[in-house]
Amino acid sequence: MKIYTRTGDEGKTSIIGGMAYKDDIRVESYGTVDELNSFLGQAISMMDPAKYSDLRVDLLEVQHELFDCGNDLAFSRPKVDRYKVSEAMVERLETWIDKYDAETPDITKFILPGGSLLSSTLHVCRTVCRRAERRVVTLAQSHEINEAVRKYLNRLSDLLFTVARLANVREGVADIEYARSADVFHTPKKD
């Protein structure tokens, strides 16, 4: 099989059930999800297997699920019976957020994306995830979508924020508070 097909030379690409221009909002949506998946793969490759064995397994599962998100966004017409992303996947992300958040200190102020190299990379993942979510919101204004994908991306950005902080904890690097931030987070103390 040849890797090039020449079918996209005129600015169009195949989607499930048809063709679309490469700058179509549908293609932008799943293309941004694909970009996120690539950055996430980079972050996973930076993780020490011993120190991050739990997180590597969870984020690898997220990578598979990002392919599922792309699949669900690529339909030219809704195919509810063929959607892969579910509410149960969103709920599992919440479980992971709670699990990893328990390892991080409470925060009251905004923090800067940074600290360790791994944390910085996970923050890049978080911001690309937010962009993917914005593209999906735009798509949903004109096309029917699997609503679970939008929820999944919203929750995933929360997970990525949490694990970026976790990476700093496990690397022994403090989060950097935004110097001009007021107290904006009022979370109860962890047990």
Mean pLDDT within 137-164 = 97
Please say if the pLDDT value at position 167 is more than 60. yes
* pLDDT score, position 10: 84
Has residue 131 been placed in a domain? yes
* pLDDT score, position 36: 98
Give the domain range for residue 75: 12-177
Single pTM value for the model: 0.93
Q: Do the Cβ atoms of 147 and 83 come closer than 8 Å?
A: no
Distance in angstroms (rounded) separating the CA atoms of residues 90 and 103: 21
Side-chain-facing half-sphere of 43: CA atoms under 13 Å: 30
Mean pLDDT within 93-118 = 96
Has residue 165 been placed in a domain? yes
Looking at the 3D structure of the chain, how many domains does it have? 1
Distance in angstroms (rounded) separating the CA atoms of residues 157 and 46: 19
Has residue 4 been placed in a domain? no
* Percent of the chain whose predicted confidence (pLDDT) is above 70: 97
* pLDDT score, position 159: 98
Q: Give 124-148 pLDDT, tens digit per residue.
A: 999 999 999 999 999 999 999 999 9
Has residue 6 been placed in a domain? no
Q: What is the CATH number of the domain that holds 142?
A: 1.20.1200.10
Q: Tell which residue, 184, 123, 187, has the closest CA to residue 157.
A: 123
